[in-house]
Structure 1
Amino acid sequence: MELNLDITQEPKVKLEEEVLYDTLIIGGGPAGLNTALYAKRKGMKVGIITERLGGQVMDTSMVENYLGYESMTGEGLVNKFISHVQNLQVPILKEVRVEKLSKEGELHKVHLNNGEVYQSRTLVLATGSKPRKLGIPGEQEFSGKGVAYCAICDGPFFEGLDVVIAGGGNTAVESALDLAKIATKVDLVHRSQFRADQVLVDQLKNYDNIHIHLDTQMEEILGEAMVTGIKVLDKNTGEQRIMNTNGIFVEIGYLPNSDAFQDYVEVNDRKEIIVDGYGRTNVKGVFAAGDITTIPYKQIITSAGDGAKVALAVNDYLNTHAKIEAPQQVVAK
């Protein structure tokens, strides 16, 4: 039975501008929430700042690969995470956006879009990522109704059905290979040529139920209550046609939610925050966890685990550095 927690309710404890925190966590998804859980249990003064409590998991229809829960809605799983953290009296400031980060000596300051400024000895950046969209008619309308963005997460729901994979990189090809084991037919559609590693592309020929459509542009997603097909354009012939399908997996990459941090910490060419094995960034006292980072395999359980690891790393950092005192004027806007 799922927990019906009202995540719109105001937390019992609130974030305060006058307080110097041991760590402030920016992001309220699995990575951020589990960081808070572990940090609080280590005795840290901790708070969460998030634009959307629950993160991307809130958009997941069903989760069947999180250990301990055979099947649960994304919202139901997130509610359990939030309840656990709220029971530890962790202050959560939600529905606000971070405009920028700054430093004052060894202190890190978080500037919000509402003008408030919070400060901490350490920061954990855990704002996750969002899937790249096709940007075509029908995509938003049928999201969760046949349109999905994670073959690992949602693939089992399409066992014995026909599916389309949109994309031509490694993730798209790997998704096609995985789905070919359970789906009746897999149509791999890409607007140009493969960008995936040749060793992966070569494996496609081992599956008779995988059909490749290169130089093919997806123009519209069709359906009624659920997806029934896609309209595509053959860029070589100019021919438009309808491909019937039960589901569409958009596997064209993810966009890290790192815009507010790119002037503060180092990112790679995909705008992921570069971290070491302990979640440390190139800035002293600033850590990052989950999908926003360079860690591979962006999954709910790996993000939650990454949050635990980073919280322990933050604790070690605070234990081995001289205690940072707040300046006399603690709030500066």
Structure 2
Amino acid sequence: MEKKRIHKDIVIIGAGMAGLTAALYAGRMNLDVLVLENGIVGGQIANAAGIENYPGFAKVSGKELMGTLQQQAESFGAVIDEFDSIVKVTLKGQPKLVETEEHIYEADAVIIASGMNRRKLPLPEEKRFAGKGVHYCELCDGHMYQDKVIAVMGGGNAAVDAANFLSKYASKLYLIHRSDFRADEVSQKRLKENPKAEIFLQTEIKSLQGEGRLESIEVLDKVSGKLRSLPVDGIFVNIGVVPNTELYKEELPLTPAGRVEAGEDCRTAIPGVFAAGDVREKEIRQLTTAAADGTAAALLAEKYLVKIKEGNPVW
């Protein structure tokens, strides 16, 4: 059966901080806005237990912050669809086409705010133990390990913050990283002072073992060259992220890291297509910069739509 074609002023791909902020601004300008989200509304930050660096909040959970932003966007008419996955985009020309499993959306402008996903544990046993001891979301799955031994892999802020959060469940907690810390000093200090935590730097995870579920991990001390086995019930992986740009690789220039090339005005190489948030190539990636990108993309998209109506879609 032929898919139904639906016109929208703006289609926003991704419902994280950048996408929802763009939806809020576009909705306030009385534009017909659709937000498509293949994962969870709120993006990666929705899993954060406590955010302490977003202006106006001493501390707020990611779920609460993103839930409020979603309500704001919807109150101004933005429609958010998290159940109709995108299968193809055609961005060159006018209108742009965003094809989902159920519909084909014709959009005058597209804002790409598809964010990033956590990088998978690069071990052959990862698939066998996924969901059975190997996890990527401490807020989602941490409660499963009450009074259990937990390992966290990674040395950046995401990993150390995850370790600090998981310590409330763990009887024992290991943080394992192949090099030195990259996390901020405040988070490091909190973890180092935790009596449950044991930190292994310059250490690689070589294999996972277990019958049915994860039971232990084999680690290599890169300094001494010694292997040892650590009994663990679960491991939470925080070793970086991969941009969600697979859909656009035939349409847009991407950087070697896989991000969309776009300036501070969020304009891409294609007129009417904007990139906002972590998916855009930029030096600083914070919640505040994602919100700023979403704001800029929506306001400039509206200006682009005006030019289209005037018959002068100059980029």
TM-score using structure 2 length: 0.72
Residue 140 of structure 1 aligns with which residue?
135
Residue 197 of structure 1 aligns with which residue?
none
Q: 258-267 vs 314-323, which deviates more?
A: 314-323
1:304 to 291, 295, 300: 291
Q: C-alpha distance in 1, partners of 2:306/2:63?
A: 36
For structure 1, the 5+ residue unaligned runs are 1-15, 187-208, 223-228, 326-333
| Equivalent residues of 1:176, 1:210 under 8 A apart | no
Shift of 1:324: 6.2
2:182 to 174, 188, 192: 174
Residue 122 and residue 71 in structure 1: after superposition, are their counterparts in 2 closer, same or farther (change >3 A)?
same
Q: C-alpha distance in 1, partners of 2:283/2:221?
A: 34
Q: Deviations over 1:174-220 (max 9, x none)?
A: 2275644443279xxxxxxxxxxxxxxxxxxxxxx987425x33545
2:44 is the counterpart of 1:49? no
Shift of 1:141: 8.3
Q: C-alpha distance in 2, partners of 1:296/1:221?
A: 38
Residue 74 of structure 2 aligns with which residue?
86
For structure 2, the 5+ residue unaligned runs are 143-149, 211-215
Shift of 1:242: 3.3
Q: Deviations over 1:70-103 (max 9, x none)?
A: 2333222221111111111212222122111125
Shift of 1:305: 2.2
Q: 299-308 vs 122-131, which deviates more?
A: 299-308
Residue 163 and residue 241 in structure 1: after superposition, are their counterparts in 2 closer, same or farther (change >3 A)?
closer
Residue 63 and residue 220 in structure 1: after superposition, are their counterparts in 2 closer, same or farther (change >3 A)?
farther
2:270 is the counterpart of 1:283? yes
Superposition pairs of residues 64-79 of structure 1, within 5 angstroms: 64-79=52-67
Q: C-alpha distance in 1, partners of 2:284/2:199?
A: 24
Shift of 1:321: 4.4
| Equivalent residues of 1:131, 1:253 under 8 A apart | yes
| Equivalent residues of 1:151, 1:179 under 8 A apart | no
Q: C-alpha distance in 2, partners of 1:40/1:109?
A: 20
Superposition pairs of residues 1-333 of structure 1, within 5 angstroms: 17-19=5-7, 21-52=8-39, 53-103=41-91, 105-114=93-102, 116-134=103-121, 136=126, 137=129, 138-140=133-135, 143-144=138-139, 145=142, 147=152, 150-151=158-159, 164-168=175-179, 173-175=181-183, 179-184=187-192, 212-214=201-203, 216-217=204-205, 219-220=207-208, 231-234=218-221, 237=225, 239-242=227-230, 250-323=237-310
Q: C-alpha distance in 2, partners of 1:152/1:69?
A: 21
Shift of 1:48: 1.3
| Equivalent residues of 2:24, 2:74 under 8 A apart | no
Q: C-alpha distance in 1, partners of 2:56/2:31?
A: 28
Q: C-alpha distance in 2, partners of 1:32/1:117?
A: 20
One-letter code aligned to 2:85: R
Please give the secondary structure, in 2, of the residue aligned with 1:57. Answer: helix
Number of aligned residue pairs: 277
**CA RMSD of superposed structures (Å):** 3.8
Shift of 1:158: 8.5
Q: C-alpha distance in 2, partners of 1:49/1:155?
A: 32
TM-score using structure 1 length: 0.69
Shift of 1:256: 0.8
| Equivalent residues of 2:136, 2:236 under 8 A apart | no
Residue 103 and residue 213 in structure 1: after superposition, are their counterparts in 2 closer, same or farther (change >3 A)?
closer
Q: C-alpha distance in 2, partners of 1:157/1:108?
A: 43
Residue 84 and residue 103 in structure 1: after superposition, are their counterparts in 2 closer, same or farther (change >3 A)?
closer
Q: Kindly, what percent of the aligned residue pairs are identical?
A: 26
Q: C-alpha distance in 2, partners of 1:57/1:88?
A: 23
